[in-house]
Amino acid sequence: MSETTQEVEKVEEKAPREPLFSKKNRKLITDPLNDDNPITVQVLGICSALAVTVKLKPSIVMSLSVVAVMIFANLIISLIRNLVPNRVRIIVQLVVVAFLVILVDQILKAFVYDVSKQLSVFVGLIITNCIVMGRLEAFAMGNKPWPSILDGFGNGLGYAWILVAVAFFRELFGSGQLLGLQIVPEAFFSFGYMNNGLMILPPMALITVGIIIWVQRSRNTKLIEE
């Protein structure tokens, strides 16, 4: 699903000394959170958003992994962007991402083994996450390292907050818990309240993402299409 045909967006390179968090650089972080969100606006990375959001904890870990991979992949690709021959750039990007993902996978296995087992194949699948490849192609290949880092961080966060939001609702209504702690009081259950089994199934993740898109589009006038 990776979009390799995207045009390379070039951030203009002008004045030699730019403050680290200039307005333009700040925009690199804030844009993907709302106006250009990778999940709700570009509709990328849906597969993992549906798969890992049953519980809050795995989705937080997944988000962190993606943020880490995106920052470092953007940085590395940006550093070597002038050395990579154009014809083999996808392979080079893949190698870099794969290397980072394996690193993340090993770290997860070493420190949070149970979460790593829950995430199973989806950590490995970060390699094919369209957001990662998309940002490498669209941004890191044409920009300096610092903006690339910010762009990776911003897009990672944009992915992360959607994941966490979806997981929040799914765990709360699906299991009555948050991060494994019981939130819905026992008294509710004795009054006949029940956990919503549909929330645990993937279709509800899709519907939850859809509702987030709906709310976002009705609030953010920039996104309303003619």
Least distance CB 212 / another protein (angstroms): 13
| Cα distance between residue 67 and residue 220, in whole Å | 25
Which residue's CB is nearer to another protein, number 19 or number 210?
210
Least distance CB 94 / another protein (angstroms): 36
Query: What Å distances lie between residue 125 and 53, 56, 57, CA to CA?
Result: 15, 19, 18
| Cα distance between residue 78 and residue 21, in whole Å | 18
| Cα distance between residue 223 and residue 55, in whole Å | 30
Residue pair 104/123 in contact (Cβ under 8 Å)? The answer is: yes
Which residue's CB is nearer to another protein, number 6 or number 195?
195
Binding site for another protein (CB under 8 A): 192-194, 196-199, 201, 207, 210-211, 214
Helices (H) and strands (E) in the chain, counts: 10, 2
Which residue's CB is nearer to another protein, number 39 or number 70?
39
- The residue behind tokens 């993992």 is 48
Phi/psi of residue 178, nearest 5 degrees? -135, 125
Which residue's CB is nearer to another protein, number 16 or number 192?
192
Least distance CB 105 / another protein (angstroms): 33
Which residue's CB is nearer to another protein, number 95 or number 207?
207
Which residue's CB is nearer to another protein, number 95 or number 198?
198
| Cα distance between residue 189 and residue 4, in whole Å | 50
| Helix (H) or strand (E) segment spanning residue 177 | strand 177-178
Least distance CB 176 / another protein (angstroms): 13
SS3 state at 93: helix
Least distance CB 192 / another protein (angstroms): 5
Least distance CB 148 / another protein (angstroms): 37
Residue type (1 letter), 141: M
